[in-house]
Chains A and B, each alone.
Chain A
Amino acid sequence: MTQNSINHFFKKYGAPYLFISPFYILFAVFMVYPVINSLYLSFHQWNGSTERIYVGWENYINLIHDGVFIQSLINCVIIFFEYVPIMTFFAVVLAYILNMGKLKLQSFFRTSIFIPYITPVIAVGFVFSLLLDRDYGLVNLLLGYLGIKPVEWLLTPTLARIAISVLVTWRWLGYNMIIMLAGLQSIPLELYDAAKVDGASGTQSFFRITLPLMRPIILFATVLSTIGTFSLFTEPLILTQGGGPMYSTLTPVLYLYSNAFQYLKFGYSSSIAYVYFIILFILTRFEWRYFGSQAV
């Protein structure tokens, strides 16, 4: 390499390399290093101040037998199935309705359904704590008018999970609706016209044209919901003080946080982080494979 060719190299490529370097520097320092360090820590026992003790696979073995961790995974699966199918379906339906374009107040509806998404999760958590209070909450008051006895929202495992599902649905419905709207708007109108010519009804077009073509975007939304459900942290923390009755609303991230920052089990929590990572990866790959491959 002559001095000249080096100069030439920098002159030609210096700018782009420089421009993208911030990302890679930050990536190396704040992502690659911690990820590797996390793996390293997961094979040790460490309380953050004394030396790290090498324990091999012990953390992982304990994790597999850890009933509380398994419960946190089960919780997420239950919550996922409690709200994702319903929410995704309604998001599509709402998007479809709002897309028809001939409604007055359309932007008002769209805005009001979307607003929950931008409210700070903390604030939402506290408000729902008040609304779902067994003795003083508005929800039980309204249910009372329908003749239903006070529901112990956050006090039984099943109801606590349902409460979280309700909160999450309330929060993400608008966001999912917007994404579905985007997907809808990319479907060429000619397809609908052609279908009408062939005598298809509105419902038929919906199920035969809309849904199949929306598959990629529905898949995208589902993947986001999966990641979102398993990484729930703030909602259970505020609504159920981080665990809920009998660990019913504990999530992997909450468990990670408490092991690290309340019990100083840095090694164990790193192993939780990795298993969480692997599970998320497998789940999203599975969803991609299963739903993605059946695209029209």
Chain B
Amino acid sequence: MKLMWFHLMPYTELPEDFNRKHPSVWVDIHSSLFDPKRAHHMYNDFMDELEYAAELGYDAVCVNEHHSNGYGLMPSPNLIASSLARRTTDTALCVMGNSLALYNPPTRVAEEFAMIDCISGGRLIAGFPVGSPMDTCYAYGQNPSLLRERYLEAHDLVKKAWTEKDTFAFDGRYNQQRYVNIWPRPIQNDPHPPIWIPGGGSIETWRWCAEMDYVYCYLSYYGYKAGLATMQGFWNEMEKLGKDRNPYRAGFLQFVGVAESRQQALDLYTEPAEYFYGRCLHVDARFATPPGYVTEATQRSGIQGMMQKAANVASPATKAALKATNMKDIVDGGYVLIGSPDEVVEQIRHVATSLNVGHLMLLLQYGNMSKDTTKYNTRLFAEKVMPKVKDLFGEWEDKWWPKPMAKGQRAAVPAFRPQLTAAE
């Protein structure tokens, strides 16, 4: 199986009384809470952590896109990915991803992803999320009723821009470009970089992923127990559509905290986990359901998007039901897997097999976890957990993984040497 190291890049210094004094971590979070000089250190710590994960042999490092968000400091994941392209060598770069409807023209995504693919020697995984209501409809002002149609059309345009050899005219419902001819072109051109779709539990998305032969990723913050129904729904739908159960059709996000013992794990990870589930998911419910964001088919199936669930955590009515903001409930609910290496091995094997997921995206940094603790978690997992779970799904081929240039053909990236001036 593939073990991928995912960073959300949360702002780590939201105040203790954040939930009491501020209505939302997202959309209208107050600018006075953001200290750019502290963010300088956060960004650099986070990028150190991603590079460290790559050094330790994780299959991929993952970044994603959020806007006006106190737990996701990457409005442009492409900026981070381009830096990682220069500071990693063999690790896949999973940009999870670019919300296509937010780019005008969407060929910007085709271009930037092609750049990352070229710089990295063909290591890009191209994620195309619709994007959460908070990011797309509120922070970026997109019309919720048009969002999915724009997204699907932008997808068609980006894919065609990657694969069409000649300059072409695109005459879409929402995008009209007389001359589409992107430079650069992706290295992965057979036919294009792997496309992965992070989504909530919508039937349309599952069907579309099956039709297009894309990887479906369920990026839930609520762990494998809460994700089981969704992933079962996904596999049931695949079966109906006559698709095999290749676990590499799917990706899943899981928080993990590993230490020498379960007690030590609790000591280390309680604060960052409670910070994340308490402060970072403090989303005002008023931003959960812009009308039209959830399709009528999905409404009928009664499946709620996971962002809607996240936002509803902030409403008093559902807070009692989803009260996992303290560590005991967080762990009992399976949101965060904790324990000694062997205990985590057992849980990871259970998660992967019960959900049938070949691409496991691990959150080993969350909330206000320090760089030292993050590196400890990352190293212990790499050394003592990874070797005991890598064998899973060996009988299946991962057809959705990047196919980079041969190692010997790739540019040598010189080691980074800061050049201090004499004055310093």
Q: Do A and B come from one complex?
A: no
Q: Chain B: residues with CB nearer than 8 A to chain A?
A: none
